[in-house]
């Protein structure tokens, strides 16, 4: 796991929850709701992490494929 990517995904999920779910839930905040929000944070973090991993890996593979395709300008040793 890439810790930087995981940290970024957790921060994005936290911001999303803070903006969307926390204000309406604040009035009825209790331990059960805290568990629900923690689970939502974990699910959103995992989803964002997976989306970033797939997207960035796809871009990396695409760039590598294109570089190999146009490798005639570089010497191979």
Domain assignment of residue 18, yes or no = yes
DSSP 74: S
pLDDT in tens, 21-71: 888 888 888 888 889 989 999 999 999 888 877 887 766 666 655 555 544
pLDDT on residue 30: 85
SS3 labels along the chain? CCHHHHHHHHHHHHHHHHHHCHHHHHHHCCHHHHHHHHHHHHHHHHHHHHHHHHHHHHHHHHHHHHHHHCHHHCCCC
Report yes or no: 38 and 14 within 8 Å, Cβ to Cβ: no
Q: Which domain holds residue 38?
A: 3-70
pLDDT on residue 62: 63
pLDDT on residue 44: 92
Domain assignment of residue 76, yes or no = no
pLDDT on residue 46: 92
Whether pTM > 0.85 for this model: the answer is: no
Domain assignment of residue 17, yes or no = yes
Domain assignment of residue 77, yes or no = no
Q: How many structural domains are present in the chain?
A: 1
């Amino acid at each position: 796991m890439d810790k930087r990517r995981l940290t970024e995904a957790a921060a994005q999920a936290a911001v999303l929850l803070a903006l969307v779910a926390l204000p309406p839930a604040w009035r009825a905040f209790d331990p059960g709701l805290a568990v629900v929000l923690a689970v939502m944070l974990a699910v959103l973090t995992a989803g964002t992490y997976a989306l970033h991993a797939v997207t960035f890996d796809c871009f990396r593979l695409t760039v590598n494929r294109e570089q190999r395709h146009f490798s005639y300008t570089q010497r191979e040793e």
